[in-house]
A and B are shown apart, each in its own frame.
Chain A
Amino acid sequence: MTTHNPPPRTAPPAPDAARPVLTVRDLNVVYRGDRTVHAVKDVSLTLHRGEILGLAGESGCGKSTLAYAVNRLHEWPAEVSSGTVTFHDRDGHDLDLLALRDEELRRFRWSKLSMVFQGAMNALNPVTTVRAQLEDVLTTHRPGMSKQQRRARCAEVLDLVGVEPGRMHSYPHELSGGMRQRVMIAMALLLDPQVMIMDEPTTALDVLVQRGILREILRLRDELGFAVVFITHDLPLLLELSDRIAVMLRGEIVEYDTAETLYRHPRHPYTRQLLESFPSLTGERGAFLRATGPASPPAAGPAPHDQARPAGSTR
């Protein structure tokens, strides 16, 4: 998909336990309203430099709420009711993200920690070109860059995600859904951040393009040592990609282990159900529709409201 061939890679660097880049401690996030929704419950996670951390769980379990809160992007009625989020900068400083003031926060976002939002392909500004939007980020955060350098950097990141750099002159509506999604990933890569939080970043892509991008991310991780929180409901994808995986159920992390252990020895019944619920590409036609109902969370507590009901056999 791009002209890059990933260089030979040895085993991924083991996450360096001594060097976390992001620590989340006992985080609680609620949505205030007539009925308070406790969307994130006592979540603790440690992201190490160079680590790919997968966050899995079904729709509505709180993945996006967690991602927004970590990046301080949550807005009322969402509220962090307790907990801490600490960013351990490369230069040795610790930043208390929940205490940052607006100006500090602006400088911090994109340059040290970038985020690809769920549905980000619709977040591009419809009235300016892709090039203008990418260059805008560079002009703001890298004022020293020349016009030529900016242009070259934009072409470089687009190429990384498999969008022909010539298409940077397009307006968002002139690109396919998957191309827009790739532009947003390119934007998150633009400033070489230390951490990228990617919330369902590849839902609009075919598997070939998806794999090309994931390979580039792994390659850059090896080269630059950044860390990624990769959020998706696609557990098979996470198993291929992640060093460690956190499984979320109704706002809580119910299992948190290396991808290998989680696959071989899942401990929580919900993890097991998730692992079993994927339709097989080549299995008996229609079999999974009848046999394998969706992963329904174990009985504890009320069923979340957007749990799918069991798939009936209809064909």
Chain B
Amino acid sequence: MTTLEVRDLVKEFTLRSGLRRSTLRAVHKVTFTLVPGRTVAVVGASGSGKSTVARMIARLEKPTSGTITALGPDGEPVRDRAYRDHVQMVFQDPFASLNPFHSIEHHLARPLLLHGRAEGREEVREQAAQLLERVNLPTALMDRRPHELSGGQRQRVAIARALAPGAQVIVADEPVSMLDVSSRLGVLNLLARLQQEDRLAVLYITHDLATARHFSDDILVMNRGRIVERGPADAVILDPHHPYTRTLAAAAPNPELRGRLRSAEPEPKAATDRDHLTYDHDAGRWIDIDADQPAAA
């Protein structure tokens, strides 16, 4: 069982255009903790820094400042080498992460062998078949190659592969955004079950507010690199405080409001006056992370 502590994470990128350079602060002072058996969802604007946080946790990107610490069951920090076994990613794009020349079995066999979870052809095949069943794919797909599957099927293979090595912390960056509703529920239920069984700590990045609410314990809402609202899933979705969260929640597709898109009324825009503040439901107040103190309400 591993706990992941993320403290004051900052990431800056340098942007070039010809000779001009500028700095983009993609992630600003992000702090949260992932606990075994619990899921934290991250929702928010496209480009707000969600994947950058995920990539820093997966050590694909170095933080500009701040810390990420994995703590083992004894409360001691997990050593560098074990970190990769403990922390597994499920990526946003199934297309880029599967090799078109290899069979599905090969994709699953590699991590199984690499992490010593199976030995010998028979056992590998058996375990690969089990993994496919766990992501609701027929074992007959084992000998196919990625391009012979539909987009949804490919994404499920990518998820199975991430599950293969066994993990304590799972960072899932839009793992189901390409799946249709029923497959989404199947995969998310699967993740939820695995989490209960293995006491996994899960970070679930998504644009789907409904599944964020139903499948997570806590929600972080990001906008422009900052966490603008945080708290228990129901509180954040049912009682949003930050103007950005409110606008986001109100924009979810709603068949009863058909024709809304076609109306002459402009799309509602969130007020920006509180963009630098965080509403924390657990604390029950606004927080100004730059001032490191409660904000005047």
- With A208-B247, A279-B210, A295-B182 as contacts: A176 and B46 at CB distance below 8 Å: yes
Bound-state CA distance A235–B265 (Å) is: 23
Least CB distance from B59 to A in Å reads 17
Least CB distance from A28 to B in Å reads 18
Query: When A59-B150, A209-B46, A312-B189 are in contact, do A203 and B178 touch as well, CB less than 8 Å?
Result: yes
A118 to B147 CA separation, bound complex (whole angstroms): 13
Which of A1, A122, A175, A240 lies in contact with B95, CB distance below 8 A?
A122
Asked if A206 CB lies within 8 Å of chain B CBs, one says yes
Q: Tell me if B186 is interfacial: C-beta within 8 Å of chain A.
A: yes
Inside 8 A of A281's CB, which chain B residues have their CB?
Answer: 209-210, 213, 237, 249, 252
Q: A314 contacts which chain B residues (CB < 8 A)?
A: 189, 192-193, 196
How far, in whole Å, are A214 and B247 apart by their CA atoms in the complex? 17
| Residues 225-239 (chain A) with a chain B CB within 8 angstroms | 233-237, 239
The A-B contact count (CB < 8 A) is: 206
B251 adjacent to A280 (CB under 8 Å)? no
Judge if A308 is at the interface, Cβ distance under 8 Å. yes
Q: Which of chain B's residues have a CB closer than 8 A to the CB of A286? A: 214
* Residues from 149 to 173 in B contacting A, C-beta threshold 8 Å: 150-153, 156
Which residues on the A side are within 8 Å of B17 (C-beta)?
166, 169
B187: chain A residues at CB < 8 Å are: 308
In angstroms, how far is the closest chain A Cβ from the Cβ of B243?
12
Across the interface, do A178 and B253 meet the contact criterion of CB distance under 8 Å?
no
Partner of A234, one of B92, B248, B253: B253
Q: Is the CB of A119 within 8 A of B266?
A: no
Q: How far is the CB of B35 from chain A (nearest CB, A)?
A: 16
A277 contacts chain B at the CB level, 8 A cutoff: yes
Instruction: Report A-chain residues with C-beta under 8 Å of the C-beta of B233.
Output: 285
Among B179-194, those with CB < 8 Å from A are 179-183, 185-187, 189, 192-193
Evaluate whether A275 and B255 lie within 8 angstroms (CB atoms) in the complex, with A176-B51, A204-B92 already known. Answer: yes
B82 at interface, CB cutoff 8 A: no
Q: Mark B245-271, 1 if CB is under 8 A from A, else 0.
A: 001110111110111111110110000
Taking CB atoms and an 8 Å cut-off, the chain B residues in 74-118 that contact chain A are 92-96
B121 at the interface (CB under 8 A from A): no
Number of interface residues of B (CB under 8 A): 72
Q: Does A12 contact B (CB under 8 A)?
A: yes
Stretch at the interface among B137-145, B276-284, B288-296: B137-145
Q: Quote the shortest CB–CB distance from B20 to chain A (angstroms).
A: 9
B182: which A residues are within 8 A, CB to CB?
Answer: 58, 277, 293-296, 307-308, 311
- Measured between beta carbons, the chain B residues less than 8 angstroms from A204 are 46, 92, 174, 177, 207
Q: Is A306 an interface residue (CB 8 A)?
A: yes
Known: A279-B181, A282-B238. A206 touches B248 (CB 8 A): yes
A200 vs B151: C-alpha distance when bound (angstroms):
10
Contact A279:B211 (CB < 8 A) given known A204-B174, A314-B192: yes
CA distance A311 to B263 in the complex (A): 37
How many residues from A make CB contacts under 8 Å with B? Answer: 79
Task: Decide yes or no: A240 and B259 within 8 Å by CB, A208-B251, A209-B45, A314-B192 being known contacts.
Answer: yes
User: Which of A205, A278, A282 is the one whose CB lies under 8 Å from B181?
Assistant: A278
Contact A58–B183 (Cβ < 8 Å):
yes
1/0 contact trace for A121-138 toward B, CB 8 Å?
A: 110000000000000000
Binds B, one of A3-11, A98-106, A150-158: A3-11
* A295: contacting residue among B47, B174, B181, CB under 8 A: B181
Interface flags, A274-315, vs B, CB<8A=1, else 0 = 010111111001101100011110000000011111011011
- Point out residues on B near A: beta carbons under 8 Å: 13, 15-18, 43-47, 50-51, 92-96, 136-138, 140-141, 148, 150-153, 156, 174, 177-183, 185-187, 189, 192-193, 196, 207, 209-211, 213-215, 233-234, 237-238, 247-249, 251-255, 257-264, 266-267
Q: List 22 A-B contacts (CB under 8 A).
A: A9-B264, A10-B264, A58-B180, A59-B180, A59-B183, A118-B151, A169-B18, A204-B174, A205-B207, A207-B253, A208-B251, A214-B261, A215-B267, A278-B210, A279-B181, A281-B209, A281-B213, A282-B238, A288-B185, A294-B183, A305-B137, A305-B141
Q: Give 10 nearest A-B pairs by CB, closest first.
A: A294-B182, A59-B152, A178-B46, A233-B180, A308-B186, A236-B253, A8-B264, A169-B17, A119-B95, A279-B210
Chain A contact residues, CB within 8 Å of chain B? 1, 5-12, 31, 33, 57-60, 64, 118-119, 121-122, 166-167, 169-170, 174-179, 182, 200, 203-209, 211-212, 214-215, 218, 233-237, 239-241, 259-260, 263, 275, 277-282, 285-286, 288-289, 293-296, 305-309, 311-312, 314-315
